[in-house]
Amino acid sequence: MDWAKFAVFQIVVSSSQLAGACANELADVDSDALNANRTWFSGGSGMIVEGRVKPRTVTWALSGWSGLALIGSFVLAFLMDTGVLSLLLMTLGLFLALSYSVGPMRFSYRGLGEVVMAFMVSFLTPLVSFYILFGTLHELIVWAALPIVFQMLGLMMVVEYPDRAADLASGKRNLVVRFGSTRSWRLGILMLVIGGAIALYSVRLGLPIWAGVAPGAVLFAEALVFWALGRVPDSKSKNFWSTAISCGFFVLVILVIAATLYRA
- Summarised one tens digit per residue, pLDDT across range 95-104 is 999 999 888 8
Residue 58: predicted pLDDT = 94
Question: Binning pLDDT at 50, 70 and 90, where does residue 263 land?
Answer: low
Give percent of the chain above pLDDT 90: 51
- Buried b / exposed e over 145-184, threshold 16 CB at 10 Å, is bbbbbbbbbbbbbbbbbbbbebbbebebbbbbbebebeeb
Question: Do the beta carbons of residue 165 and residue 174 sit within 8 Å?
Answer: no
Taking the C-alpha atoms of residue 5 and residue 129, their distance in angstroms, rounded to an integer, is: 9
One-letter amino acid at 65 equals W
Greater pLDDT, 12 or 162: 12
What angle is formed at CA 15 by the lines to CA 30 and CA 133, rounded to 5 degrees?
140
Structure pTM? Answer: 0.89
Q: What one-character DSSP code corresponds to residue 233?
A: P
- Summarised one tens digit per residue, pLDDT across range 54-80 is 999 999 999 999 999 999 999 999 999
Greater pLDDT, 247 or 150: 150
Instruction: Report the pLDDT averaged over residues 196-213.
Output: 90
Q: Give the mean pLDDT of the chain.
A: 88
Q: What one-character DSSP code corresponds to residue 173?
A: -
With a cut of 60, say whether residue 177 has pLDDT above it. Answer: yes
With a cut of 90, say whether residue 187 has pLDDT above it. Answer: yes
